C-alpha cells in the first residue's frame, strides 16, 4: 500500500453549508487514497444524516479527523492536534456554542480507548471498518456518551452506507476512487497495516460494478480501484468462476463511458497472469503500475517477510513490460531496515538501476510498535539511514526526471481534470499519471484530448494541441 503523499483538506461535498440550522462538518483527511475515499463515504453518511460539509474549522460544529498510522509518531501528532482542538472547543463553550470532535481512521483503530483517556475533547473514536456506524455514534455522543467503535464487524460496512449522490460525485471530479479490497494478510515485518486495517476482504463483483456504473452515470471518466493489497482482490465472477483483479477490470472496461482504469497498491506476489494480460489487452487500463519492492537484497526481503526475491521481482517486471512495453513503474523503498548492510543497500541501488522507475516513494525505516521489526536486533544508525536515503533518492529523482524528459515531443492523450492555477489553463493527466498543463481552449473538463508535450519542469509537463 502507499501513502502516495496525499494529504487532502477536503470539503468532501461541494455544496458547502450556509444555512444556519444545519449541522456542519469539517473533514480533515491524512494519508493514502483509501482514506480520501473513506472520507468521501463518511461525508455521504453524514449528508444523509443532515450534515453539510464546510471547508473551515471555524464554520464547523463537528470536526472529523481521518487519521493515518503509517508514518512515524503518527499517534503523537494526532494527540497534539487534539490538544489544539481542545482549546478551540473551550473557546466555543465560552461563547455559548459547542464543538464535537470525531477521530476516524488507522490511529483511531490502533489507539481506541486510549484516545478517549488522553483527549477529553474527543466525542467519537471510529475505526476504518465501522464508519457506517458514524451517524449512530454521533447521536449517542450527543446524548453525552463518549463512543469507541473499533471492532472488525461481520457486516459489510459498504452495505450500511448510503450511495453517493450524483451531485456529490460530480463535485468530486471526473477521476474517482473506488475501494474494492481492504486489509492485508501479508504481514510485512515493518508494517502496521495488517493490525490497523485487519484481514483482507474483497468486495463482491456486483457491488463494485454497480458503484462504478453510478460513478460513470454521474460523469466520471476514470476510476482508480483501491485496496491495501488491491491485486489480492478475488471474488465470484458473473460467470460463476473465481475471478481475480484482471477479470474484474475486464468487466469494468465494458462500462460505456469509463475510459480509464487504474489500481493501487499491488504486491508483487499477487501479480497474476490474468492481470498482466489485462495490461496487454485493455486500452482502458492505464500503463502505470505502483509495485513496491522495498529492498533489492534477498536477505532483507526475507527478513521483511516480503515472500519473494529480488530476481523474482525483476523477472516479474520483465513479464509486465513484455505485455505492455510503455508501462511506467513506481515503487516504495525502505532504507535502513534492521540488519541492512552496505552490500544489502547496494543491492537495492542495483535493482533500481535495473528496473528504472518513473516515480517512487522512499523512506527511512522507523519502528512501528507492535510489529516484528520493532523487536529486531541490528537496528541501523540514523546517520547511516540518512546517508543511504539521500543516495537512493538522488538516483530515483534522476530516473523520474529522465522519464519526464523522455515524454518531450510525444503526442499523448490527456484526461482534462481540473482548472489550472491560471484561469486560461486546465490540468490534465497523461496515461502515466503525470499532471500536464494545457491551454483551456483545448477542451472541457472530462474530455480526452490529444496533445503534444512541449516543456517540462520538475513536477509538471506543459503541452499544446497535437
What part of residues 376-415 is at the interface with ligand SF4 (CB under 6 A)? none
Before 116, cis peptide (omega within 30)?
no
Name the maximum alpha-carbon separation found in the chain.
66
Which entry of ligand 5AD, ligand SF4, none binds 334, CB below 5 to 8 A by partner kind?
ligand 5AD
Q: Which of 188, 278, 289, 347 binds ligand SF4 (CB under 6 A)?
A: 188
Decide: is 429 part of the binding site for ligand 5AD (CB under 6 A).
no
Order the strands of the 222-226 sheet from edge to edge.
Answer: 175-179, 222-226, 260-264
Decide: is 82 part of the binding site for ligand 5AD (CB under 6 A).
no
| Cβ–Cβ < 8 Å for 392, 334 | no
Stretch that binds ligand SF4, among 185-193, 337-345, 352-360, 372-380 (CB under 6 A): 185-193
Query: Toward ligand 5AD, which CB reaches closer, 196 or 434?
Result: 196
Decide: is 284 part of the binding site for ligand 5AD (CB under 6 A).
no
Decide: is 191 part of the binding site for ligand 5AD (CB under 6 A).
yes
Stretch that binds ligand 5AD, among 6-14, 226-234, 358-366, 406-414 (CB under 6 A): 358-366
Decide: is 186 part of the binding site for ligand SF4 (CB under 6 A).
yes
Decide: is 434 part of the binding site for ligand SF4 (CB under 6 A).
no
Q: Which of 132, 368, 385, 388 binds ligand 5AD (CB under 6 A)?
A: 368
Least distance (Å) from ligand 5AD to the CB of residue 371?
A: 7
Decide: is 187 part of the binding site for ligand SF4 (CB under 6 A).
yes
What span, in angstroms and rounded, lies between the C-alpha atoms of 423 and 35?
A: 30
Residues comprising the chain, all counted: 466
All 3 cell numbers of residue 77?
501528532
| Cβ–Cβ < 8 Å for 309, 301 | yes
Phi then psi for residue 200, to 5 deg, are -65, 130
Query: Toward ligand SF4, which CB reaches closer, 296 or 428?
Result: 296
Query: Toward ligand SF4, which CB reaches closer, 66 or 266?
Result: 266
Decide: is 67 part of the binding site for ligand SF4 (CB under 6 A).
no
Decide: is 412 part of the binding site for ligand 5AD (CB under 6 A).
no
Residues 323-342, one symbol each (x = binds ligand 5AD by CB under 6 A, - = not), give: ---------x-x--------
Decide: is 267 part of the binding site for ligand SF4 (CB under 6 A).
yes
260-264 vs 435-439, strand pairing mode: unpaired
| Cβ–Cβ < 8 Å for 305, 187 | yes
Least distance (Å) from ligand 5AD to the CB of residue 218?
A: 30
Please choose, from the candidates 293, 266, 298, the residue with its C-alpha nearest in 3D space to the C-alpha of residue 396. Answer: 293
Q: Which of 1, 46, 334, 451 binds ligand SF4 (CB under 6 A)?
A: 1
Decide: is 179 part of the binding site for ligand SF4 (CB under 6 A).
no
Query: Toward ligand SF4, which CB reaches closer, 293 or 442?
Result: 293
| Cβ–Cβ < 8 Å for 363, 335 | yes
Least distance (Å) from ligand 5AD to the CB of residue 363?
A: 4
Decide: is 294 part of the binding site for ligand 5AD (CB under 6 A).
yes
Q: Which of 53, 74, 191, 317 binds ligand SF4 (CB under 6 A)?
A: 191
Contacts of 59 (CB under 8 A, 6+ apart): 17, 24, 26
Query: Toward ligand 5AD, which CB reaches closer, 72 or 151?
Result: 72
Q: How many residues bind ligand SF4 (CB under 6 A)?
A: 11
Which entry of ligand SF4, ligand 5AD, none binds 363, CB below 5 to 8 A by partner kind?
ligand 5AD
All 3 cell numbers of residue 437?
498543463
Query: Toward ligand SF4, which CB reaches closer, 121 or 184?
Result: 184
| Cβ–Cβ < 8 Å for 290, 331 | yes
Which entry of ligand SF4, ligand 5AD, none binds 358, CB below 5 to 8 A by partner kind?
none
Which entry of ligand 5AD, ligand SF4, none binds 228, CB below 5 to 8 A by partner kind?
ligand SF4
Compute and round to an integer the Cα radius of gyration of the chain.
Answer: 23
Stretch that binds ligand 5AD, among 39-47, 272-280, 361-369, 443-451 (CB under 6 A): 361-369
Q: Please, what is the angle between helix 310-323 and helix 342-355, to 10°?
A: 10
Query: Toward ligand SF4, which CB reaches closer, 191 or 328?
Result: 191
Question: Residues interacting with ligand SF4, by CB under 6 A?
Answer: 1, 184, 186-188, 191, 193-194, 228-229, 267
Question: Residues interacting with ligand 5AD, by CB under 6 A?
Answer: 1-3, 70, 190-191, 292, 294, 332, 334, 363, 365-366, 368
Amino acid at each position: 500500500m502507499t501513502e502516495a503523499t496525499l494529504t487532502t483538506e477536503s470539503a468532501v461535498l461541494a455544496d458547502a453549508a450556509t444555512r444556519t440550522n444545519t449541522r456542519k462538518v469539517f473533514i480533515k483527511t491524512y494519508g493514502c487514497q483509501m482514506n480520501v475515499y473513506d472520507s468521501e463515504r463518511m461525508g455521504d453518511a453524514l449528508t444523509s444524516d443532515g450534515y453539510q460539509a464546510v471547508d473551515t474549522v471555524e464554520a464547523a460544529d463537528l470536526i472529523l479527523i481521518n487519521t493515518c498510522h503509517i508514518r512515524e509518531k503518527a499517534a503523537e501528532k494526532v494527540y497534539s492536534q487534539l490538544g489544539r482542538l481542545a482549546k478551540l472547543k473551550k473557546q466555543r463553550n465560552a461563547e455559548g456554542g459547542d464543538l464535537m470532535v470525531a477521530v476516524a481512521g488507522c490511529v483511531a483503530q490502533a489507539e481506541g480507548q486510549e484516545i478517549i483517556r488522553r483527549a477529553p475533547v474527543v466525542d467519537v473514536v471510529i475505526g476504518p471498518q465501522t464508519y457506517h456506524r458514524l451517524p449512530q455514534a454521533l447521536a449517542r455522543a450527543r446524548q453525552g456518551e463518549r463512543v469507541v467503535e473499533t471492532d472488525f464487524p461481520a457486516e459489510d460496512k459498504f452495505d450500511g452506507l448510503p450511495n453517493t449522490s450524483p451531485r456529490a460525485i460530480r463535485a468530486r471530479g471526473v477521476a474517482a476512487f473506488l475501494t474494492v479490497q481492504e486489509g492485508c494478510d501479508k504481514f510485512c515485518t515493518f508494517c502496521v497495516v495488517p493490525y490497523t486495517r485487519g484481514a483482507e476482504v474483497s468486495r463482491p463483483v456486483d457491488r463494485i460494478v454497480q458503484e462504478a456504473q453510478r460513478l460513470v452515470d454521474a460523469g466520471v471518466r476514470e476510476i482508480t480501484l483501491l485496496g491495501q493489497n488491491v491485486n489480492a482482490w478475488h471474488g465470484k465472477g458473473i460467470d460463476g468462476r473465481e475471478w481475480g483483479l484482471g477479470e474484474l477490470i475486464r468487466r469494468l472496461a465494458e462500462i460505456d463511458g469509463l475510459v480509464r482504469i487504474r489500481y493501487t497498491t499491488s504486491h508483487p506476489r499477487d501479480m497474476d497472469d490474468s492481470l498482466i494480460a489485462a495490461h496487454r489487452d485493455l486500452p482502458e487500463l492505464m500503463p502505470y503500475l505502483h509495485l513496491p519492492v522495498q529492498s533489492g537484497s534477498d536477505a532483507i526481503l526475507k527478513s521483511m517477510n516480503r515472500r519473494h526475491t529480488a530476481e523474482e521481482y525483476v523477472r516479474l517486471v520483465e513479464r509486465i513490460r513484455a505485455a505492455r512495453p510503455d508501462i511506467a513503474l513506481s515503487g516504495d523503498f525502505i532504507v535502513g531496515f534492521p540488519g541492512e548492510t552496505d552490500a544489502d543497500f547496494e543491492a537495492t541501488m542495483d535493482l533500481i538501476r535495473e528496473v528504472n522507475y518513473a516515480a517512487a516513494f522512499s523512506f527511512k525505516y522507523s519502528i512501528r510498535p507492535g510489529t516484528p521489526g520493532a523487536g529486531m536486533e541490528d537496528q541501523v544508525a540514523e546517520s547511516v539511514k540518512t546517508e543511504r536515503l539521500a543516495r537512493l533518492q538522488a538516483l530515483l529523482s534522476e530516473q523520474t526526471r529522465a522519464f519526464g524528459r523522455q515524454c518531450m515531443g510525444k503526442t499523448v492523450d490527456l484526461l482534462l481534470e481540473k482548472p489550472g492555477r491560471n484561469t486560461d489553463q486546465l490540468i490534465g493527466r497523461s496515461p502515466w499519471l503525470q499532471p500536464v498543463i494545457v491551454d483551456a481552449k483545448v477542451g472541457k473538463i472530462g474530455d480526452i484530448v490529444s496533445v503534444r508535450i512541449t516543456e517540462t519542469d520538475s513536477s509538471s509537463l506543459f503541452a499544446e494541441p497535437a
